[in-house]
Structure 1
Amino acid sequence: MRQTSLNIIAISIFILTMSALLGPIFNISPVIPAIATFSVMVLVTVDTLGWQGQGSMIIVDLVEGASSERRERIIRHEAGHFLVAYLLEIPVSGYALSAWEAFRQGQSAQGGVRFDDQKLAAQLQRGMISEQTIDQYCTVWMAGIAAEDLVYGNTEGGAEDRAKITVILTQLKRSTESKLKQSWASLQARSLIENHQSAYQALVTAMTQRASVSECYQTIEENISGDQTE
């Protein structure tokens, strides 16, 4: 069961407990919170078994993304991924800035930039993956964290990005290198974003307007020459 579903169940149990304690004071029938909690748990179970937890992810994502500050941080995070993928010649196949957007696009209910990872998958399948490929993908995965840290001085997202690096290196029996590779890749990504600030800022604007992938590519190309001459 996904962590989001477990969190919703925990909250439901907490509400039921508090209702049982405070119900007599406010003259609330204990049946009402019991029915509400039971209904929530049924919905969570159906969501987990039938939708693989996508419904709860959408709800949590809508709540977390309610503030404009949070939405802007998400866009800047994803723009970091997109720009660095472009610079390292890893094709972007699409992006979604929320779980709901991803769901509407027919993807699993998880926002983010989607990459063409056929090259990585093919090399992993053969058991022969080049260090260059590892470095490229690790840098792209850490680019969202690097962008957040560059703009805000701290990071909130990126746990799943770090996990991808750990998974890849574990498959290669190099799990002890994960933290070092994350730090190295984050520095590489930060440097790329810093050196292409005009393209990055323009990309943030384009993604805010939900520009298509091809339009985002064009935006980067139109602004990247200015970065190179500065």
Structure 2
Amino acid sequence: MMNLSCPSRVAVGEEGGGVVKRRRAAALRRVDRELAKGNLKLAVNLVKQNASALRGFSAAKQVPRRVSSVEELKLLNLSVTETSALQSLLDSILFSIQTTLKSQSSVTSEDNDLYLEDDIVDRKQVMEHEAGHFLVGYLLGVLPKQYKCCMEDVKQDEVVDASVKFVGFEFLTELEDVVVSEKQLHKVKPGSRANRSKLSSTLLCKFACVIVGGLVAEHLVFGYSKGHHEDVEKLDIVLKWLQFTEDEAHTVMRWAVLNTLLILRRHGEARAALVEAMAQGRSIGNCIDMIETNLNHLDI
């Protein structure tokens, strides 16, 4: 019997080696131009309109939201390897988050940065952290609009200036106008749904995964994470503003970490390539091109 699938695979391979790459390069040049002009919606639309060339955008396979442990993944017959090591890593990350929240300080960040501001001066660790944010956002359909990783001439004990900003997380700026101090959040009655209509569950889930992306990437690469994790504290502020109970917030965080961990674990090559691109100060479009070029498209 003739194998009808072979010709299509060859055709796709040939196109991927030429036409798709050229189409992707052209699209990403336009994306860079529109981002530079501040035309954020147009930039996002350009990415969406070129789905055949930008296959990774918003394409990540995700864990069902009711699942929050490796054991539950196994019960659902979802493909998971090295389950014991994966559960151990998940527990380690969650412990790191809980430790951070216990010593939580007030949020003083500006705009909608997802940033790392602490005693980390190791270039590799900072870059892995920021690339984790960037890659998770892109694969979940949240377009990075700007990043900075000022690592040149960084001296020991100096604060590292690093951040990634995304299109679609502007609600953080609005939130900061409402939440003047963390004391106000503690006065809000948990369980109330007054603010929940202001943020869709889909956007919240994306935000939660993106914001823990840096922390998860560090654990994947180094086995631990350093710093005060102010991005995690920001997620906690958002959950309090949405008036989630402690159990509800824990469920969201646990799912987000598991989902993000599996996404980043599948795409180690793309993450490594992205780290190099960001370290060189490449444009958003060039960084995305590095992701697409090294992405495991058979298991996004």
What TM-score does the superposition give when structure 1 sets the normalisation length?
0.60
Kindly provide the CA deviation profile for residues 62-114 of structure 1, in whole angstroms up to 9, marking residues without a partner as x.
Answer: 9852xxxx11100001100000000011111111124899xxxxxxx942111
Q: Report the 3-state secondary structure (helix = DSSP H, G, I; strand = E; otherwise coil) of the residue aligned with 2:203.
A: helix
Q: How far off is 1:180 after superposition? A: 3.3
In the aligned structure 1, how far is the partner of 2:118 from the partner of 2:150?
8
Identity, % of aligned positions: 30
| CA-CA distance at 1:183 after TM superposition | 2.4
Deviations 1:3-23 (A, max 9, x none): xxxxxxxxxxxxxxxxxxxxx
Measured after TM superposition, the shift of residue 135 of structure 1 is: 0.6
- CA distance in structure 2 between the partners assigned to 1:175 and 1:169 by the alignment: 8
Higher-Rg member (1/2)? 1
Residue 138 of structure 2 is matched in structure 1 by 86
Alignment of 1:7-46 (within 5 A): none
Corresponding residue number in structure 1 for 2:285: 214
Amino acid at match of 1:188: N
- The counterpart of 1:134, out of the listed 182, 204, 210, is 204
Q: How does 1:93-104 map to 2 (within 5 A)?
A: 93-98=145-150
- After superposition, the Cα gap between the structure-2 partners of 1:201 and 1:186, relative to the gap in structure 1 and judged at 3 Å, is same
Question: Aligned with 1:154: secondary structure?
Answer: coil
In structure 1, how many angstroms separate the alpha carbons of the residues matched to 2:118 and 2:243? 38
Report the equivalent of 1:173. Answer: 243
Residues 75, 118 of structure 1: CA spacing in aligned structure 2 closer, same or farther, 3 A cutoff?
closer
Alpha-carbon contact 2:128-2:217 (below 8 Å) kept: yes
2:130–2:162 Cα contact (<8 Å) kept: no
Alignment equivalent of 1:204, drawn from 275, 287, 293:
275
**Long gaps (5+) in structure 2:** 1-107, 110-116, 154-159, 176-194
Q: 1:91–1:116: 8 Å Cα contact kept in structure 2?
A: yes
Change (3 A) 1:100 1:71: closer
CA distance in 2, matches of 1:62, 1:169: 23
Change (3 A) 1:168 1:64: closer
Distance 1:63 1:167 in 2: 22
Find the aligned partners of 1:63 and 1:157 in 2 and give their Cα distance. 6
- Contact 1:145–1:186 (CA<8 Å) still a contact in 2? no
Which region of structure 1 is more displaced relative to structure 2, 116-125 or 161-170? Answer: 116-125
How many Å separate the matches in 1 of 2:263 and 2:287? 17
SS at match of 2:224: coil
Larger relative contact order (CA 8 Å, sep ≥ 6): 2
User: How far apart are the structure 2 equivalents of 1:170 and 1:87?
Assistant: 27
Structure 1 residue ranges without an equivalent (≥5):
1-51, 54-60, 102-108
Q: Distance in 1 between matches of 2:169 and 2:163?
A: 18
Match of 1:154 in 2: 224
Distance (Å, rounded) in 2 between the aligned partners of 1:139 and 1:147: 12
Q: Is the 8 A contact 2:120 2:226 kept in 1?
A: no
User: Are 1:164 and 2:216 matched, yes or no?
Assistant: no
Shift in Å at residue 132 of structure 1? 1.2
- Would you say the 8 A contact 1:147–1:193 is kept in 2? yes
Considering fraction of residues, name the structure with more helix: 1
Return closer, same or farther for 1:73/1:63 CA change in 2, 3 Å cut-off: closer
- Shift in CA distance, 155/229, structure 1 to aligned 2, threshold 3 Å: same
Residue 113 of structure 1 corresponds to which residue in structure 2?
A: 164
